[in-house]
Amino acid sequence: MLTGDAKLQRLFARDASAGGEVAEQSAREVPQGLAGQLYLERRQRVAFFGGGLFWEPAWDLLLYLYDAIENGVAAVERERAARACATVSDASAERWITMLCTQGFAPERRDSSGRQELCLTAAGIGAMEAYLIDLAAAKQQG
């Protein structure tokens, strides 16, 4: 069994060999809806404890973008994606989006009308799949 680091290295290598193209298909082995469930759980935490305790805007974005793919949406308007980081300011959300783009997980692109969109790259999808599969397996083991 591969460790988390080895899985990510394999996924990045696969993404690099594919030219870093954006993947257009959703996960196959991941339990359907797990990313969306995790995203909603994070929003519920904020409702009970406030936004200042749980700062993981990059994780919120990754969950949000992956859930969009599972629901048949390949790309999300950049402004809507920024709102997925509900616990941070707009400027901070933009910095986190830029970081995801710089790290190669979510490149920006424009739709046919010129609006900025965000989506996950093959590396971003692969990393999310590897994590969610491992998480589901750990939950099953108890």
Convert the pLDDT of each residue in 33-59 to its tens digit.
899 889 888 888 878 887 777 778 889
CATH of the domain spanning 4-141: 1.10.10.10
Global confidence as pTM:
0.73
The Cα 113–Cα 91 span in angstroms is 24
Please determine, for residue 17, whether its predicted confidence score (pLDDT) is greater than 60: no
Per-residue confidence (pLDDT) for residue 28, from 0 to 100:
43
Domain ranges of the chain: 4-141
Exposed (0-12), middle (13-18) or buried (19+): which is 30, by Cβ within 10 Å?
Answer: buried
Please name every residue paired with 117 in a beta bridge, in sequence order, or none if there are none: 77, 109
